[in-house]
Amino acid sequence: MTLLMGILNLTPDSFSDGGEVSGVAQALAAAQAMADTGAAIIDIGGESTRPGSERIAPDLEQRRILDAVSAIAAAGHTVSVDTVHVATAKLALARGAKIVNDVSGGLYDPLMLATVAQAGASYIIGHWRGFPKKNYSRSVYRDVVVEVCAALRERIAAALAAGISPARIIVDPGLGFDKTPDQCWELLNRIEELQELGYPVLIGASRKRMIADCVREAGVQQPGLAELDAITALVSAHCARAGVWGVRVHSVPASALALRATAKLGEVDARPDAPVRVKPSKTGVCATAEPGAKHDDADACAMAEPGRGDPLPANVAQPPAGVSTHELDVIAIKGLAVFARHGVFEHEKQSGQTFYIDCEVRLAARAGSAVDDIAKTVNYAELAAELERVATETVLDLIETLAEKLAAAALSFAGVCATTVTVHKPSASVAQKVSDILVTVTRTREAHCALRN
The catalytic residue positions are 208, 248
d(CA 38, CA 34): 6
Shortest CA distance to 361 belongs to which of 341, 347, 345, 382?
Answer: 382
Q: Which helix (H) or strand (E) holds 25?
A: helix 24-36
What pairs with residue 8 in β-bridges? 44
In contact, 48 and 14? CB cutoff 8 Å: yes
What pairs with residue 357 in β-bridges? 336, 423
Query: Residue 216 contacts by C-beta under 8 Å, 6 or more apart in sequence?
Result: 223
What pairs with residue 419 in β-bridges? 361, 443
Q: How far is CA 449 from the centre of its chain?
A: 36
Q: How far is CA 420 from the centre of its chain?
A: 25
Q: Which amino acid is at 400?
A: E
State the SS3 of 96-150.
Answer: CCCEEEECCCCCCCCCHHHHHHHHCCEEEEECCCCCCCCCCCCCCCCCHHHHHHH
Q: Which amino acid is at 383?
A: L
Shortest CA distance to 124 belongs to which of 203, 178, 181?
Answer: 203
